[in-house]
Amino acid sequence: MLHAENGHIALQQVETHADLDLILLDIDLPDIHGFQVLKQIAQQAPSLPVIAVSGSITPHFIRQCISLGASGFIPKTSSGKGMLSAIELVLGGGSYVPREAFEDEEDPKRPNHVKTETSLTLRQIEVLKLIRKGLSNEAIAEVLGISLTTVKSHVRSILENLNVKNRTEAVNEALLLNLL
């Protein structure tokens, strides 16, 4: 376990410790903005999962953390048990986003969708992240603990929502839209 007092030290540790399993990143850093650190970690170590931690829990803020490369987001108000569950999920290859991310400031009755130009559910974004990692539908089903039919349904919906023809185009389009 390593500890960094600021963003610059955190980035140095990512560079010097290739064996890191996970980063818990407090977005409220004293020296540089956590968004910048998130972006740089995603460039330096794209396969290293990062969980953003912050006291700011607006849907826009949480979604921005995810779009900058965080594999999860934990509000500082979370219980220890909640934090541990989120960490275990992310270490297992999943994503953790609290329900606050699904609350739409304009329409609180739409909790299942992330507000973007597309209308992908969080589960579809999880599937898309696994597609980006090169996983087959069968492997995605196993990782997420869902059926192969459900994965295929999610992939079909992703392709339709992003208006693309294949999985590669879907990943590219999602990157352009900052969904991944």
Domains of the chain (ranges plus CATH)? 7-102 (3.40.50.2300), 122-176 (1.10.10.10)
pLDDT score of 77? 85
Alpha carbons within 13 A on the beta-carbon side of 37: 28
Which of 6, 9, 28 is CA-nearest to residue 17?
9
Classify 93 in phi/psi space as left (phi over 0), alpha (psi -120 to 50) or beta.
left
User: 91 falls in which pLDDT band (50, 70, 90)?
Assistant: very high
Average pLDDT for residues 50-74, to the nearest whole number?
A: 88
Chain segment 5-24, per-residue pLDDT in tens:
898 999 999 999 989 999 99
Give residue 75's identity as a one-letter amino acid code.
P
CA–CA dist 70, 63 (Å, integer): 9
User: 135 falls in which pLDDT band (50, 70, 90)?
Assistant: very high
User: 52 falls in which pLDDT band (50, 70, 90)?
Assistant: very high
User: 148 falls in which pLDDT band (50, 70, 90)?
Assistant: very high
pLDDT score of 109? 43
One DSSP character per residue, 84-102 reads HHHHHHHHTT--B--GGGG
CB 2 within 8 A of CB 24: no
pLDDT score of 102? 64
User: 118 falls in which pLDDT band (50, 70, 90)?
Assistant: low
Confidence check: pLDDT of 114 > 50 = no
